[in-house]
Amino acid sequence: MSETEPIKNNTDIAHNFPSHDIFHHHACLTLNRTDRLRLIRFPTTIISVVRHAILSSWHRGLQNEKHYAGAYQFKLYGNPWLGQGREAVDMSVLSALHHHGWYLVMATDVSKKQEDKDLLIFRASIPPQSTSFFAVSFNERNKLRLIGAPYEVISAVQETIGTSRIQYEDWIYSETAYQFKLCAYPWTADGYETVTSRMIILDLLDCFTSLGWQLHASINMSTSYDGYHTDTWFFRRGNQ
């Protein structure tokens, strides 16, 4: 199957999921290996919601999908949980679930497996008003990335960090993310620099809060070749 070839019979696969759903107030999402996403105890209606979210945010598409030990699994082309650009997928899926009334309760690490990722637990409730999302990731040793952020957020971050602490900045991933390369190495700082890096974190939180954005989650959703990885922040704000 080529990467551009559509998945065949995915609707039939989903329809073969047990038709008499037992309603569960809680469900969870797991990211497995480097390319798989599993839905556990979500109703069958959510399968198509997540499928659409993945296809709209991951340019390489889906390789296959199937039942997996009582869960429903999507296998993406490439290695999104290992490479760069995964944040757009994470944000799209979280946003889709939120808009369908599945609220993130916690991101928790309950596995001792090496290079594991957070387990995301959701609770069903009444769907909210229209809400916008964006994500913030801390990449390599000194890169700050804003994914899906509106221009006012990008401009505010520029002002908050200050030009003297920015080496350069530019759009990446076909202008879906805006990246700042900072001076020094704040994400691997030692000594006095650890205090400075924490001040940057606090300044950013103040910046987002002042614009009306609320922290939705801070999640470890990735694995890296060198074994180092940081959380990705997700923010939301109700649309007026």
Which domain CATH number covers 158?
3.30.1410.10
The model's pLDDT over 132-154, given as tens digits with 9 standing for 90+, comes to 999 999 988 999 999 999 999 99
Which of 89, 108, 124 is the last residue in one of the domains?
Answer: 124
- Please give the structure tokens belonging to residue 164: 């003297």
- Please give the structure tokens belonging to residue 151: 């221009």
Which of 90, 124, 158 is the last residue in one of the domains?
Answer: 124
Residue 33 lies in a domain: yes
| pLDDT for the residue 87 | 84
The model's pLDDT over 93-103, given as tens digits with 9 standing for 90+, comes to 999 999 999 99
Residue 5 lies in a domain: no
Report the domain count for the chain. Answer: 2
| pLDDT for the residue 113 | 62
Which of 124, 152, 179 is the last residue in one of the domains?
Answer: 124
**Parallel, antiparallel or unpaired: strands 71-76 and 62-68:** antiparallel
234: domain range? 131-238
| pLDDT for the residue 230 | 81
| pLDDT for the residue 20 | 46
Residue 4 lies in a domain: no
Nearest alpha-carbon partner for 201 in 148, 150, 136, 117: 136
Residue 65 shares a structural domain with residue 15: yes
Residue 77 lies in a domain: yes
Residue 3 lies in a domain: no
Tell me which residues of the chain have a pLDDT lower than 50.
Answer: 1-6, 8, 15-20, 225
Residue 15 shares a structural domain with residue 85: yes
Residue 23 lies in a domain: yes
Query: How many angstroms separate the CA atoms of 174 and 153, rounded?
Result: 18
- Please give the structure tokens belonging to residue 227: 């074994």
State the pTM of this model: 0.85
Residue 138 shares a structural domain with residue 110: no
| pLDDT for the residue 50 | 98
Residue 103 shares a structural domain with residue 151: no
Phi, psi dihedral angles at 199 (to 5 degrees): -65, -35
Residue 120 shares a structural domain with residue 142: no
Q: Are 35 and 73 contacting, i.e. CB atoms less than 8 angstroms apart?
A: no
Residue 161 shares a structural domain with residue 117: no
Residue 85 lies in a domain: yes
Residue 204 shares a structural domain with residue 181: yes
Residue 2 lies in a domain: no
Q: Which residue has the tokens 């596995």?
A: 111
Residue 42 shares a structural domain with residue 79: yes
Residue 135 shares a structural domain with residue 152: yes
Residue 108 shares a structural domain with residue 164: no
| pLDDT for the residue 1 | 43
Residue 150 shares a structural domain with residue 115: no
At position 5, the amino acid (one-letter code) is E
Nearest alpha-carbon partner for 51 in 80, 92, 98, 104: 92
Residue 98 shares a structural domain with residue 159: no
CB 164: neighbour CB atoms within 10 A? 6
